[in-house]
Chain A
Amino acid sequence: MSIASSPKAPPLPGFKNVDLSQSSVSGLSSGAFMTVQLHLAHSSTFVGAGVIAGGPFRCAETYRAAAIAEDSAILNAVSICMNPLIPQTAPDPARLARNARACADKGEIDPVSHLANDRVYIFTGSRDTVVNSTVVDTTRRFYEHLGVAADNIRYESGVPAGHSIITTNPEDNPLAANRPPYINQGDFVQSWRILEHIYGPLNPPSERLSGRIIRFDQREFFNGESRASMSDYGYAYVPKAVEEGAPARVHIALHGCKQGYAYVNYVNGRPDLENGLPYGNRYFTTTGYNELADANDLIILYPQAQGTDNGATQNPEGCWDWWGYTSTSAREPDYYSQQAIQIRAIHGMLQRLGTP
Chain B
Amino acid sequence: MLQALTQFAHAPVDQLQTLHHLQADLIRKFIAPTAGTDSHPVPAFALGSHAEHIRQALGDVALRQLRNLQNVLPAAVKLSQDVGVCYDLFAFQKAFLERLSGLQTQWFEGLESIAQEAGEIRQVNTASKLIAQEYNLYAQFSALLMGQVSAVAELVENAQIDFGYLIAQTTEEN
Contact = CB atoms under 8 A, between A and B. Distances in A.
Give the bracket for the number of chain B residues in contact with chain A.
20 to 34
B96 interface: yes
A1 interface: no
A85 B98 CA distance: 10
Nearest to B99: A85
A85 B60 contact: no
A63 B164 contact: yes
Given A65-B164, A79-B162, A83-B158, A88 B60 contact: no
Contacts of A83: 158
26 contacts: A65-B164, A66-B64, A66-B161, A66-B164, A68-B64, A68-B67, A75-B157, A76-B161, A78-B157, A79-B157, A79-B161, A79-B162, A80-B162, A83-B158, A84-B162, A85-B92, A85-B95, A85-B158, A85-B159, A86-B91, A86-B92, A86-B166, A88-B91, A89-B92, A89-B165, A89-B166
Interface string A82-109: 0111101100100000000000000000
The CB with the most chain B CB atoms within 10 A, among A63, A84, A88, is that of A88
Interface residues of A, number: 19
Interface string A53-66: 00000000011011
Contacts of B67: 65, 68
Nearest to B88: A88
B169 interface: yes
A88 B95 CA distance: 12
Given A68-B67, A75-B161, A63 B168 contact: yes
Contacts of B159: 85
A71 B164 CA distance: 15
A69 B62 CA distance: 12
Contacts of A88: 88, 91, 166, 169
A80 B165 CA distance: 9
Contacts of A80: 161-162, 165
A79 B92 CA distance: 13
B159 to A, nearest CB: 7
A304 B91 CA distance: 40
Contacts of A92: 169
B134 interface: no
B56 interface: yes
Interface in B134-172: 154, 157-159, 161-162, 164-166, 168-169
A316 to B, nearest CB: 13
A68 B63 contact: yes
A180 to B, nearest CB: 16
B88 A78 contact: no
B92 A69 contact: no
Contacts of B91: 86, 88
Given A78-B157, A83-B158, A69 B60 contact: yes
Contacts of A65: 67, 164, 168
The CB with the most chain B CB atoms within 10 A, among A63, A66, A80, is that of A66
A86 B168 CA distance: 15
A129 to B, nearest CB: 9
Contact of A69 (B56, B162, B164, B165): B56
Nearest to B170: A88
The CB with the most chain B CB atoms within 10 A, among A68, A80, A85, is that of A85
Contacts of A68: 60, 63-64, 67
A69 B64 CA distance: 10
A80 to B, nearest CB: 6
A273 to B, nearest CB: 19
Given A79-B158, A85-B92, A62 B99 contact: no
Nearest to A62: B165
A62 B157 CA distance: 15
Nearest to A66: B161
A89 B162 contact: yes
A86 B64 contact: no
